[in-house]
Amino acid sequence: PFNLAERKTNSHSVVECDHARKEVSVRTGGLADKSSRKTYTFDMVFGASTKQIDVYRSVVCPILDEVIMGYNCTVFAYGQTGTGKTFTMEGERSPNEAYTWEEDPLAGIIPRTLHQIFEKLTDSGTEFSVKVSLLEIYNEELFDLLNPSSDVSERLQMFDDPRNKRGVIIKGLEEITVHNKDEVYQILEKGAAKRTTAATLMNAYSSRSHSVFSVTIHMKETTIDGEELVKIGKLNLVDLAGSENIGRSGAVDKRAREAGNINQSLLTLGRVITALVERTPHVPYRESKLTRILQDSLGGRTKTSIIATISPASSNLE
């Protein structure tokens, strides 16, 4: 749906979604020219009236099953600032306090995921533990959003993991053990308070950084022979920085540099995904911090979903 800035400019909608055909059509000629349009096909399409639960069930539920089987997976939210990435990933609390948060229609992917992990593993009788971390990548620097220290500018160092050739170790990253689903919102609120935000013309609360919420599950199972096995599954839920161009964002000086770094990591992510799809021998994971951190969860026996959020407003036509 339109955001406040788009409503103020009296924009009209130029986007139509066809759920059955999984198509998005953009009227490129504006209101007067109904015939000129571009149509794009996706694996799934969600219109402005789609509920949070529908996106979660369609996109995340199948991936969560893989994580519980012991695989590493990733879900990205990608798009222009102000199109609903953070709302999709984190959601909001409804003003109606009668809702528990798992009933809350505004709850996003992160709280729903944690809720379902606890539900599935408790029902199966599996002995398990859940740890979460929340990392921010800002101007190619790493910051821990769950570190109890009041120093928000403390940068983290990243090293290759000698035990896992595709993994990295982030020195000093706080991993919090979550004992129940009710602790999740406290963790999200703690992270949001620390997250680097900067007012741009695009969105007064526009985040100029990527955030990576990682959930690691250790599950203990006993085989028929009585042998104890530990399975480890990991899910990265990534809220990417705004993908708008520098001119449109109204960014100047430092902000323009930020936009350059943002574009660098988004371009690298695109190149990594293209290389994986085309099965090229070299995948450029090391060209950005974001792709290096996610290296063990992209490619190979992993699943990745990208939720692309778009604005329907004519003011955003290029």
Q: What share of the chain is helix, strand, coil (3-state, %, to 5)?
A: 30, 30, 40
Distance CA 119, CA 180 (A): 10
> 277: helix, coil or strand?
helix
User: Residue 256 is inside which H or E element, if any?
Assistant: helix 254-277
Token pair recorded at residue 81 = 């600032």
Nearest to 73 by CA among 269, 217, 181, 211: 217
Task: Find out whether 84 is annotated in a ligand binding site.
Answer: yes
Distance CA 24, CA 209 (A): 28
> 165: helix, coil or strand?
coil
Task: Find out whether 80 is annotated in a ligand binding site.
Answer: yes
Task: Find out whether 82 is annotated in a ligand binding site.
Answer: yes
Task: Find out whether 79 is annotated in a ligand binding site.
Answer: yes
Distance CA 6, CA 177 (A): 41
Distance CA 254, CA 233 (A): 38
Residue numbers belonging to the annotated binding site for ATP: 79-86
Binding site residues, as ranges?
Answer: 79-86
